[in-house]
Structure 1
């Protein structure tokens, strides 16, 4: 595994700071924010002095029921090649649902949502990972995500799920210790147990980030300092292996350069401390238990050695999965797709048939995908479209997740279309949240910004004449070609707004 060292997440807001920070061996950039033909000058300067740049994708949705979109894969491959990266990373998550598999409207989450740890979900994820691996020019590593909700009827713990994913695909892992802490608070999961079950030799690098707890829920904000419990989990991981790289993530509320340097120093200290086996005592919430039937060891029970983990920790998991694999042969390799022409963040999802069904993968494999699709669509619909909560979910926790998704959506639209937030001022967030409640996102954030402006002009135009005029002009400047009926409706509303101003 290539040694990376100490890194930091590169963001445009702190680009100058990142260039000046001492001891930075590599950086990670959000892939969807990089255009291969227009690499930011800061990243070019970093590369010129030998700093590695790794693209970190957020939109593939490899845990979703659909096969990976070939255009998104091509875009990601183009970014890898433009940056000369040794590795590319994504998430074990689904980000969209609906569409042809469920004969329902396409829905976008705008965020990373957890995959159920079931045999069917694992099989679909592994097929999608193999497609991605065949389409990317460098090794792929996948990140464990933070979650607010538990899927009912899960059949494996997180460590078991990740171990089987690695065994079946050879994919590398990006372990986020902050996400392990989030899942400890929100889902009652033991970080030490997850680390015991992981194939640590597959770790490509590690994420460290801060968050905040509100009303008993941990929010993985990437906008707060790294807390001691998260560093303790990093020490737990360090006691098991020497990770090839560790990276500090910060996405908002950027502190001073001195504060960032101090956080990096704490990470270095944690990594260079004597390798002992610290305890994350109280890893599970009081009274919390692991999913029934997962074989998760109780807190305080000694872990089996890695080689005996399947036999001692969850009998039959490896055997059962290998039997399923024998029934469903591996898919054929897929040639890489052509380089991208436009940024995937501005494009809607695709459904190209990248994976042909091999022997034993016909009707059964299709049924598996449909089963996963129906479950994920029901969950996402309840989160973004207000449909009833699927059976077995905690409705209170779903409401928390729903509010978090809407807030995230408002924040990202304000970043991709800052003029809207500036035009509407203090009223932006309230207006956007009302819009989000009535209209789920079905495409990327740029499309969402335009739809928000359209809806506001048509259904609830601002009372202030200056704000109304500026919003109208913004829409006219950004709308581009529109379907005739829709364009007529919007143009009429815009003309009516301007006419009212002239009176």
Structure 2
């Protein structure tokens, strides 16, 4: 299936996306969609024949735990609601702790890298098979950007992805911006990764912007796409004509004309690529009989055999022989991931072998992102606290890991301040108290209560 050129659909730019010319498909964050109701903008796009692909961010398939059945059911429901040709997720872990380690559960609020070890690969493959069996359409997985790397890794990124495809038949979503990020931050060569991975398994490609600060590349999705990222796209295009390419933007949204300009740059990069042999020109455009081009010929893309036409790890990046699986891979992975995440979000000592400076950078980045998302889901908090919101939240986040999602995090932060008799301004403290009580109580306040509070707050400001 040829997807063509697409853009990430976000509510903030829904009108701009609808107005863009030449958009063949869009991608929507699965967790931001209601299970039984589509935003009007997506309904209109579907009526125009624009395909919609749900992009998951919360499964944590690279984690030690098996995939949560509720999250899988929710992702499956959104795929069916959208009539999607496939669903996508990430090769990452997003939570740790819990029963496997007999410790409190921890949430990262971010995609964190999986160690490229045989243990982690074994666990990931099993998790992927569980997900494939639970989804009504094929699954594609995305490589992620990283600020840190695990010590004692046994496989390169390309080898790891090739082994994953070989063992599960899963498709790949290759993010060229993430390959560039890992080049700057970790010294990994994007060309080598592309040489090693099975490009025949690519379902589509992500392109996104970022920014470099103090020698570290931050994959922000809030800046324009840079020339080096387009260079990686050109490298990929020299090997394969990808079935689809999508522009991602998640924040600091520019006018529609700027988005159109970035899409034009992507098109120009693809069009400037070489003429490839017919066998490599479009890996998903010639499916086997009864196949949808994204997996096995049964139309589900499930099972352990490779996609049609996909070889094993390429000779340029042949992985070392896989050792015989050892029992306890999940338990070992659980312990190591919990130790890392605890160091990042709870201030515990850094695990042995990690770069302490990079861990501090990653920890700060997680806290900043957490503050930004809390400000979005609870915009009243920065309004009440003003300039004091961000420093107060960052101080709170140093020792208070997130464990129940961002809305719970906002409530816990407000409670933390109130227990400490903060903020110092009595009016702001009273407003924060009301905000917290309104949301923590069993019933919301009535209209009369809200009017009385507003009047008292107005008098207090005089």
State the TM bucket, normalised to the shorter chain. Answer: 0.7 to 0.9
- Report matched runs for 1:125-274 at 5 Å: 125-274=124-273
What corresponds to 1:465 in structure 2? 426
Q: Which of 359, 369, 374 is equivalent to 1:408?
A: 369
Q: How many residues align?
A: 415
Question: After alignment, is 33-42 or 7-16 more displaced?
Answer: 33-42
Q: For residue 466 of structure 1, report the CA deviation from its aligned partner.
A: 2.3
| Whole-Å separation in 2 of the counterparts to 1:473 and 1:47 | 42
C-alpha distance after superposition, 1:364-384 (max 9, x if no partner): 54x110000000000000000
| Whole-Å separation in 1 of the counterparts to 2:54 and 2:392 | 34
- Report matched runs for 1:37-436 at 5 Å: 37-275=36-274, 313-314=317-318, 316-317=320-321, 320=322, 324=325, 365=327, 367-436=328-397
Does the CA contact (< 8 Å) of 1:31 and 1:56 recur in 2? yes
| Whole-Å separation in 1 of the counterparts to 2:317 and 2:424 | 63
C-alpha distance after superposition, 1:418-471 (max 9, x if no partner): 111222121111111111112111111111111111111111421222212221
What corresponds to 1:456 in structure 2? 417
Does the CA contact (< 8 Å) of 2:35 and 2:77 recur in 1? yes
What corresponds to 1:335 in structure 2? none
Q: For residue 121 of structure 1, report the CA deviation from its aligned partner.
A: 0.2
| Whole-Å separation in 1 of the counterparts to 2:275 and 2:47 | 38
Please give the secondary structure, in 1, of the residue aligned with 2:422: coil
Which runs of 5 or more residues in structure 2 are unaligned? Answer: 277-309, 444-456
Q: For residue 312 of structure 1, report the CA deviation from its aligned partner.
A: 5.6
Which runs of 5 or more residues in structure 1 are unaligned? Answer: 278-305, 325-363, 483-497
Change (3 A) 1:82 1:308: closer
What corresponds to 2:305 in structure 1? none
What corresponds to 2:292 in structure 1? none
Moved over 2 A (4+): 306-317
Change (3 A) 1:384 1:189: same
Question: After alignment, is 439-448 or 176-185 more displaced?
Answer: 439-448
Does the CA contact (< 8 Å) of 1:141 and 1:174 recur in 2? yes
Change (3 A) 1:383 1:308: closer
Does the CA contact (< 8 Å) of 1:93 and 1:145 recur in 2? yes
What corresponds to 2:19 in structure 1? 20
State TM-score, norm by structure 2: 0.87
Q: For residue 316 of structure 1, report the CA deviation from its aligned partner.
A: 3.6
Question: After alignment, is 138-147 or 472-481 more displaced?
Answer: 472-481
Does the CA contact (< 8 Å) of 1:310 and 1:316 recur in 2? no
| Whole-Å separation in 1 of the counterparts to 2:21 and 2:275 | 28
Question: After alignment, is 465-474 or 234-243 more displaced?
Answer: 465-474
C-alpha distance after superposition, 1:76-95 (max 9, x if no partner): 11111111111100000000
Change (3 A) 1:481 1:224: same
Change (3 A) 1:172 1:312: closer
Please give the secondary structure, in 1, of the residue aligned with 2:173: strand
State TM-score, norm by structure 1: 0.80
Please give the secondary structure, in 2, of the residue aligned with 1:438: coil
What corresponds to 1:292 in structure 2? none
Change (3 A) 1:481 1:103: farther
